[in-house]
A = this chain, B = another copy of it.
Amino acid sequence: MPDLRLAGGEVLLHDGTWRVMRADVTVREGRIVQVGKGNGEAEKGKGLRPEAQVRDCRGCLVMPGLIQAHVHLCQTLFRGLADDLPLEDWLVRRIWPLEAAHTEETVYASALLGAAELLLGGTTAILDMETVRHTGAAFRALERIGIRATVGKCLMDVHPEGAPSDLAESTDDALTDAAALAQRWHGSAEGRLRVCFAPRFVPSCSGPLLRAASDLAERFDAQLHTHAAETIVERETVLRTTGLEEIAYLDSVGIAGRRAALAHCVWIDTHEMDRLARQGTTVVHCPSSNLKLASGVAKIPEMLAAGCHVAIGADGAPCNNGLDAFAEMRLAALIQKPRLGAGALPAAQVLELATLGGARALGLEDEIGRIAPGRRADLVVLDLSEPHLHPLLGDPVSRIVYSARASDVRDVFVEGRPVVLGHELLTAPVDHIVREADRAAAELHRLARLA
């Protein structure tokens, strides 16, 4: 792979706090090797090997790729098909029938559509939960499109009320398939693709399945990815069926600690926050989803104060209805303020959730999430030329969180490889992706026989 230099941009660095420095970022073999003052136009190739690519980033902000630690790419095709419903209806009437109808082809089209949106919008890494079947098709799509992804097939061995009869598997079948996926995909694409073990949520999983998922994560050195405490109904269901509060129950079956990422955690108490902090578990905040499904507002400032690790994610397209990290960051900052005051969850903290926090959720806290020598070169170049980003006088972190849009993303690099340049996706033709997605969505809609 040729060397890469992002030259002359304002580079966003993090060493305890965020700061911006006019610098060149040099990348070799997928890693950042130097962040230093530019030598000017005459010496712009200095220190690079022949064939190096130098990308002019003057007038741009060079920032770490954004990380979303809770998405469901298999649901991208369901966008706009499940609006204005609370979570339980949303699952039973829409999501489960549609997931059960998925084929290899529709899972592939769904993952490709979602990943195209993510990359074009500056998200370079994801923690993804697919559906029960056809997770290999999602991996093939992500291998092709070039995003960094940690992907788990959805594990569920308790047949949920109202779901199609073939959505849940036996405990053994679920675990066998998950282990086979890990054998095939974990660490593939030169480490860019990894597997996680992803029990859907406590109400659709037996205790043995959860415990076995935890054991598999240890065995494969992989992450755990589930939902927790999303609604009051879920909280009460878990309390009734297990006799334990949800966070304590998950702990009892090994879904806790540095490997575990729990999406939502809207309905948890102070002592549960303390437990999550002690464990080192990551909470993944999904503000759009929590609002749209009427779940509530997660107490993120309180969790951060308690010492919890927090990441951010868009969740699936049908509960959002986008996969836009900029929209999630802005919303995360805004929704805490009426409750806690205008200073709650300031921009700098929110940007940490979408970078450092996401890296930790993926178990890659030493690899990605900030721009520094030795880190993998997952980089985003923001074009600052549009009126909505001006004046340039104020704080650049405020500009990213409160003002920037997915459409400001000019270039995206994953592991030093250009995947978006000049707002164009390089790894797959967007017109073909959206045409196939439209076709696959119509097919799914027909197969699922939605009421």
Contacts and interface: CB of A to CB of B under 8 A. Distances in A.
A16 interface: no
A320 B342 CA distance: 12
A292 interface: yes
Contacts of A441: 390-391, 393
Contacts of A323: 388
Nearest to A291: B334
A159 interface: no
Contacts of A402: 80, 83, 292, 320-322
Could you say how many copies of this chain the assembly holds?
Answer: 2
A112 to B, nearest CB: 9
Contacts of A293: 337, 342
Contacts of A341: 86, 294
A311 interface: no
Interface in A324-377: 324, 327, 330-331, 333-335, 337-338, 340-344, 346-347
Given A385-B430, A392-B438, 16 more contacts: A79-B394, A81-B393, A83-B347, A83-B398, A117-B386, A117-B388, A120-B386, A290-B338, A292-B333, A293-B337, A294-B338, A294-B344, A296-B338, A321-B403, A387-B433, A393-B438
Interface of A: 77, 79-81, 83-87, 89-90, 113-114, 116-117, 120-121, 288, 290-297, 320-324, 327, 330-331, 333-335, 337-338, 340-344, 346-347, 385-388, 390-395, 398-399, 402-403, 405-407, 430-431, 433-434, 437-438, 440-442, 445
